[in-house]
Homo-oligomer: A and B are copies of this chain.
Amino acid sequence: MIPPRKPPTMVDIAREMGVSPMTVSRAFKADSLISKETREAVLEMAERLGYVFDSTAANLRSQKSDFVAVTIPSINNANFADTVGGLSDRLAAHDLQILLGYTNYDMQEEERLIEQLLRRKPQAIVVTGGKHTARARRLLETVSIPVIETWDVPAEPIGHYVGFSNSDAIRQMVDHFVAVGYRKLAFIGGDAGRDTRGSERRSGFIAALQAHGLDDTRLIGAGTPPISMREGAAAMARLLDTYPDTEAVICVSDLSAFGALTECQRLGIDVPGRIAIGGFGNYDLGEICVPSLTTINAFSRDIGEKTAELILDILAGEKPVRNIQIVPELILRQSSR
C-alpha cells in the first residue's frame, strides 16, 4: 500500500527538470516568452507527474479570477437554461468559467447567493431581473466589477442591462388578439409577487386591456413560481368555470399555456375554436404540440450571448454600449387567430 502523497506543485516539476518555477509557470500560460521546446518538455513532465494546475493559487496571486458569476431563478427552465447556454458558450472561448447559482424565485435567496458568489472575486456578475433586496442592491452597487441585469428593463439599472420590457411584450399579444376580434380576454399566472417578470406580464396585460377599454378582471392565479404545466391546467379549469365565455387566454409562460391546452383537450373544448391560447417564451414544446402555441419569442439565447459579448467588451477595456434592448417577437401559431 502506497502512503498518500502530497500532490506535485510547480516547484516539484521545476526541481525534477532543473529549471526555475517561473519557467514552469510560463509553460502553462498561453502567450508568454518561452521556447517551444522548453514548454513541451515542461508539459510532458507535468503529465508524467500527474500535476494539476492550481487555479486557486494563480487567482490569488494575480488578483483576478476567471469566473463570471450568474444567478437565475431556476435551473430547470428551458428559457434560463438557454440564456446560460449562450453565455457559457461565448465565455468558454475566452477561458472564463460560469459560476452558477439559482435563487428559486426568492429575493432573499438571491441576496445570500450574490454575497456568496462575490466571495470568489468574479470578473463580472450577471443577475436575472431588475428587482433585488436593498442589501443585494447595495452589494452590487459597491462591487467594482461589471454588473449586468437581464430579462428585464430595470427601473433603476445598477450597471448594465440586457433585456426587454415584459409588459410591452404582452401588450403586443393583447393588441393582436383585440385586432383579430377577441374581446373577452383572460390572464393566467403572474399573481405571486416573487416572480417579478410574471407580475409585469400580468400588469402589462391589465394596462393593455384598459387601453382598449375592455374588461380587465379575468385574472386567474396559478400559485407560486415556477408555474408548472399542471398548474396551468388547473388554472384553465378554474377559468372555464369562472368566466366560461372567455374568448382568449394569455398564460404567463408556454409551460402553463400547454397545461391549459391539455385541460381543454381533456374537456373536449376546441382550441382555438371555442377559446384561443397564447403563451410566452417560445419553448420547443409550443412549436411542436398540436395545436401549436401562439407565443412571444424573447430570444433567451440571444440574451446570454449578448450579455457575454458585453462582458468581453468591458473586460477588453472597450467603451461598450451601456445597455442592450431586446425586441421580443410575437409568433402566431395554431392556438389562436
Question: Using a CB–CB distance below 8 Å, which chain A residues touch chain B?
Answer: 4, 7, 50, 52-57, 59-60, 65, 75-76, 78, 81-82, 84-85, 88, 97-102, 115-116, 118-121, 139, 142-144, 228-230, 233, 258-259, 262, 265-266, 284-285, 287-290
10 nearest interchain CB pairs?
A76-B81, A265-B290, A55-B119, A229-B288, A50-B142, A56-B60, A75-B81, A53-B119, A56-B59, A60-B60
Does B265 contact A288, Cβ atoms closer than 8 Å? no
A7 to B52, CA, bound (A): 30
Does B288 contact A259, Cβ atoms closer than 8 Å? yes
A266 to B287, CA, bound (A): 13
A187 to B234, CA, bound (A): 34
Chain B residues near A233 (CB-CB < 8 A): 288
Majority secondary structure of chain A interface residues (helix, strand, loop or mixed):
helix
Does B285 contact A285, Cβ atoms closer than 8 Å? yes
Chain B residues near A284 (CB-CB < 8 A): 228-230
Does A4 contact B56, Cβ atoms closer than 8 Å? no
Chain B residues near A143 (CB-CB < 8 A): 52
| Residue contacts A-B, CB under 8 angstroms, 12 given | A56-B56, A56-B120, A75-B75, A75-B81, A75-B85, A76-B78, A76-B81, A81-B81, A97-B101, A229-B284, A229-B288, A258-B288
A106 to B312, CA, bound (A): 26
A23 to B118, CA, bound (A): 22
Does B229 contact A285, Cβ atoms closer than 8 Å? yes
Does B288 contact A54, Cβ atoms closer than 8 Å? no
Across the interface, name the chain B residue whose C-beta is closest to A95: B116
Interchain nearest-CB distance for A239 vs B (Å):
17
Does B75 contact A84, Cβ atoms closer than 8 Å? yes
Interchain nearest-CB distance for A180 vs B (Å):
24
Does A56 contact B65, Cβ atoms closer than 8 Å? yes
Does B144 contact A7, Cβ atoms closer than 8 Å? yes
